[in-house]
Amino acid sequence: MVPFRRTEPAGSQKPEESGDVAIEDSVQLKEPPKHAVVLHNDDFTTMEFVIEVLQKFFRKTHDEAMKIMWSVHHNGSGVAGIYPVEIAEMKVVQVTAHAQQHGFPLRATSEPAP
């Protein structure tokens, strides 16, 4: 069997002609879009439960949870955290299910981060 020999100097053919794969020199990666998980105020969910949710699902310290809870209470909503879209949506599902299990109407939403 005769070994294969290249008859033209390397690089003289286009990748599609030689069977080689063209590789783009500069690859630019974009960060995935971020979404904010927002908790909304209601007249029934207790402040203590909101603090519990913030600590359990968003790993907030007690002081951080208190600040967010007061924002929810006074402003009608508060940002619990900012995450890639899939994680934000998962947290909304987890918070909603946890609130329903405990009899609270706490509403969480995911919206594009500012």
Helix/strand/coil for 100:
helix
pLDDT at 5: 58
**Which of these, 103, 102, 101, 111, lies nearest to 80 by C-alpha position?**
111
**What residues contact residue 98 under an 8 Å CB cut-off, 6+ apart?**
53, 56, 57
pLDDT bucket at 4, cuts 50 / 70 / 90: low
Rounded to two decimals, the pTM is 0.74
Contact between 79 and 31 (Cβ < 8 Å)? no
Determine if residue 68 is left, alpha or beta; phi over 0 gives left, psi from -120 to 50 gives alpha, anything else beta: alpha
pLDDT bucket at 102, cuts 50 / 70 / 90: very high
Q: What are phi and psi of 73, to 5 degrees?
A: -65, -45
**Which of these, 53, 111, 55, 106, lies nearest to 83 by C-alpha position?**
111
pLDDT at 114: 82
Higher per-residue pLDDT: 101 or 2: 101
What are the pLDDT digits (tens) for 41-87? 999 999 999 999 999 999 999 999 999 999 999 999 999 999 999 99
Q: What are phi and psi of 26, to 5 degrees?
A: -115, 115
Average pLDDT over residues 36-40: 98
CATH of 44-114, one of 3.20.20.140, 3.30.1390.10, 2.60.120.260, 3.40.50.2000: 3.30.1390.10
